[in-house]
Amino acid sequence: MITIDLTGRTSLVTGAGQGVGRAIARHLAAAAVLVNDLDAQRAQGVVDEIVAAHGSATAVPFDVTDYAAVQASLAGRAPIDILINNAGNAGTEGFGERGPFAESSPEDWEPFIKVNLYGALNCCRTVLPSMITKRWGASSPSCPTPPDLVTPAAPSTARRKPALRA
């Protein structure tokens, strides 16, 4: 097993109020964790779990699709050393009616693109300058579903990983 000393590091996990993001935030609790979720109560719930386990965490609820909100929420905080872009799905608009991709339109794709691609780009752009200055940092798109397991009817967070690598 590989271990990394996270002492003195600060991590930001987006979409950390539940599911995979929650698990990642709990795992990174050796660092100071900024727990992001669109829902402030979910973010605070994960913070409470981390603090109860003697970790260090702060809730930072914001909408990753809103670049100004990302910047405002992270301004004045410790520089981010580790960014996990986990926020995904269709955002506040939900999934709506899902049918075969071949019958969809660009309007159907927009909520997914906003959260899964632009959300990650907004967060990367906000934290990257301090990583460059420190000459230390790590960023990863969380991708719980391998792209080859995505069905034709299910737009997925898995499709963002190749886009973010481009």
Per-residue pLDDT of the chain (166 residues; tens, 9 = 90+): 777 788 899 999 999 999 999 999 999 988 899 999 999 999 999 999 999 999 999 999 999 999 999 999 999 999 999 999 999 876 555 556 667 778 888 888 888 889 989 999 999 999 999 999 999 888 877 654 444 444 444 444 444 555 555 5
Q: How far is CA 89 from CA 5, 24, 36, 58, 98, in A?
A: 31, 17, 15, 23, 12
pLDDT at 5: 85
Q: How far is CA 147 from CA 25, 101, 144, 154, in A?
A: 23, 15, 9, 11
pLDDT at 105: 84
pLDDT at 156: 46
**Fold classified for 10-165:** Rossmann fold (3.40.50)
Both structure tokens of 126 = 């906000």
pLDDT at 23: 95
Residue ranges in the chain assigned as alpha helix (H): 19-27, 40-52, 67-74, 106-113, 119-134, 160-165
pLDDT at 84: 95
- Residue 104 CB burial class (10 angstroms; 0-12, 13-18, ≥19): middle
Predicted TM-score (pTM) of the model is 0.84
